[in-house]
Amino acid sequence: MQFLLFDIGVTLVFLGGYRTVDMLQRRRALAVPRAASRTPGREPRPAPGSEGPATRAPRREWPRLSYPR
């Protein structure tokens, strides 16, 4: 019986925390304008012809996890 009460209590605490996080994320999504909510690592695409390939930052190379034999 004690375990059942403990289990119900922990479940209620988890659901309350989940609901709080969900509410805060929804509130933040409404408060932040769409243009400001973009990922900071992404840059807008330049207009065609305005920027040459030499001025563009090099692509990031991911490390190889295994080498071919």
Read off the pLDDT of residues 24-53 as tens digits, 9 standing for 90 and up: 999 888 777 665 555 556 666 666 665 555
Task: Supply the pTM of this predicted model.
Answer: 0.43
Q: Identity (one letter) of the amino acid at 21?
A: V
Compute and round to an integer the Cα radius of gyration of the chain: 24
Task: Give 58's pLDDT tier (boundaries 50, 70, 90).
Answer: confident
Q: Identity (one letter) of the amino acid at 1?
A: M
Q: Identity (one letter) of the amino acid at 15?
A: L
Q: Which percentage of the chain shows pLDDT scores above 70?
A: 59
Q: Whole-number mean pLDDT of the chain?
A: 77
